[in-house]
Amino acid sequence: MQTEYAQRRQQFLAKIGKGTAVFRSSPMAVMHNDVEYNFRQDSDFFYLTGFNEANAVAVLTAQHEHHRFVLFVQPKDLEKETWTGYRVGVEAAKERFGADEVYPIAELREKLPQYLEKADRIYYRLGRDRRFNDTILSQWQTLMATYPKRGTGPTGIEDPAPTLHALRQVKSPAELDRMRTAAAISVEAHNRARKFACPGRYEYEVQAEIEHTFGLRGTGVAYPSIVASGANACVLHYTENTRQMQDHELLLIDAGCAYEYYNADITRTFPVGGKFTAEQKILYEIVLAAQMKAIAQVHPGNPYKQIHDTAVRVLVEGLMDLGLLVGDIEEIIKEEKYKPFYMHRTGHWLGLDVHDVGVYQHGETPHNLEPGQVLTVEPGLYISPFIKPVEGQPEVDSRWHGIGIRIEDDVVVTEQGCEVLTEGVPKAIEDLA
Ligand code: GLY
Ligand code: MN
Ligand code: MN
């Protein structure tokens, strides 16, 4: 894996020419008072280094005589490590992470200028750590003050994101392996949860069953698990998971694990008591048809947007057949009159982040899919008891109220078309009822 991190740094350096890039690790996030959340490295930092400690800085530059990759890390400190866990330390970081030079983080202000002074710009993403932003800005100002004497130095700060995120958007075979594992564990968790769920159980029990599987496989949640029964499924980010499930209701589970930093993101919706009502079944069939047709659009060269457009058309046709939307289909789609029923996009990139980085559109020009890109396909229909159709559209009969359905799979663009990583969780009606 070290070779792969080195390759990524090389690729990135080739793109920034005479610039020097500075990346900051994630901070420790406070849960409350003296207690911190488990540390999770910043995805850009991790992608380029594999180093997963807080309070670190990585520098990538082609503008230093000897060093291309430099790390600033927390030094070994046995007393502190007794409290907060082991640190790699300065010596071992050089060896283990392939850095040309490693310094204690306390030396950042003193050592950083030598990596910036010959660069034509600083690649740095202004982050939430104001003090660190100030460090970079003040170093830049200092260098610019002496620019007239030297005639070299960074004349601007540029966000590394567009360059770096274009690399992150296309996954390597090693990354895809991790994503396959994350998907397989999440598939197992969903399958266990579906068998476990039944009327009378509470949503949090199902959540525990899912996360138990994640834990047994050495992983954790990729995002807060959504276990939404009945009308709760109409709340897109419902995470309370406190309700007792009833017969004749649907259960929507949106849950995935993170395996070695790579995420899965799966949603399934099924009848808690093993039997769809007529209304649930009709809406489910529409969402499933939309999802299957949208997945069929995942093919290299196809515009990303086509996936959403395809799903929307199938959903709108279905709602029109039921009389829940009326009028001209093109106008309904163009003016987004379906939005009270379907208010989110049909997916997102997936990878080190659940909502992964990378562009979806280049101004007026569509982004076309490329092999190695990974995305979710997740259409849904949500008929909240409080739904308000747009003006000119009919009121929704109460028999549809409280039904929320989403079906979400993780899909890799391949040379020939696509590979659905999460197809091991059933979604056909006959497998659910
Ligand atoms: N679970 C987050 C999402 O589906 O985007
Ligand atoms: Mn998703
Ligand atoms: Mn999801």
Ligand 3 ion local residues (Cβ < 5 A): 254, 265, 267, 408
Pocket residues for ligand 1 (CB within 6 Å)?
223, 254, 265, 348, 354, 378, 408
In total, how many domains does the chain have?
2
Active site residues: 34, 237, 254, 265, 344, 348, 355, 378, 382, 406, 408
> How many whole angstroms from 171 Cα to the centroid of ligand 2?
18
Q: What is the mean pLDDT of residues 351-358?
A: 98
For residues 141 and 177, membership in a common domain is answered with no
How confident is the prediction for the chain on average, in pLDDT?
A: 97
Residue owning the nearest CA to atom 5 of ligand 1: 355
Q: What pTM value is reported for the model?
A: 0.97
Whether the CB-CB separation of 202 and 214 falls below 8 Å is answered with no
Instruction: Give the CATH number of the domain where residue 401 resides.
Output: 3.90.230.10
Helix (H, G, I), strand (E, B) or coil at 46: helix
Q: How far apart are CA 172 and CA 409, in angstroms?
A: 20
The mean pLDDT of 135-160, rounded to a whole number, is 95
| pLDDT given at position 433 | 84
Identify the domain containing residue 15 by its residue range.
Answer: 2-167
Amino acid at 116: L
H-helix segments, 50-202 = 78-84, 89-97, 108-111, 113-116, 130-145, 147-150, 161-169, 173-196
Place of tokens 């490590």: 81
**What is the spatial distance between Cα 15 and Cα 4, in angstroms, rounded to a whole number?**
17
pLDDT, residue 34, reads 85
Q: Does residue 306 surpass a pLDDT of 90?
A: yes
Question: Counting Cβ atoms within 10 Å, is residue 401 exposed (0-12), middle (13-18) or buried (19+)?
Answer: middle
Choose the final residue of a domain: 128, 151, 167.
167
Ligand 1 atom nearest 406 alpha carbon: 4
The mean pLDDT value for 112-140 works out to: 95
What is the residue with the minimal CA distance to atom 4 of ligand 1?
265
In degrees, rounded to 5, the angle at the alpha carbon of residue 28 between the alpha carbons of residues 1 and 349 is 55
* 367-391 per-position pLDDT tens digit: 999 999 999 999 999 999 999 999 9
Nearest residue to 222 (alpha-carbon basis) of 43, 55, 371, 380: 43
Same domain, 52 and 143: yes
Distance CA 228, CA 242 (A): 9
CA angle 14, 20, 24 (to 5 degrees): 110
In this prediction, residue 27 carries a pLDDT of: 86
**Where a domain ends, among 141, 167, 193?**
167
Residue 200 reports pLDDT greater than 90: yes
Q: Distance from the CA of 311 to the center of ligand 1, in angstroms?
A: 17
At residue 48, does pLDDT exceed 90?
yes
Instruction: Note the pLDDT of residue 102.
Output: 98
Q: In angstroms, what is the span from residue 267 Cα to ligand 3's centroid?
A: 6
Residues 185 and 309 in one domain: yes
Pairing of strands 257-259, 262-263: antiparallel
Ligand 1 atom 3 nearest Cα: 265
User: Measured in angstroms, how far is the CA atom of residue 293 from the centroid of ligand 2?
Assistant: 17
Across the range 12-31, mean pLDDT stands at 95
The answer on 78 and 8 residing in a single domain is yes
Identify which of 291, 354, 377 to mutate to test ligand 1's pocket (most ligand atoms within 8 A of the CB): 354
Query: Is 94 in the same domain as 180?
Result: no
> 422 pLDDT exceeds 90?
yes
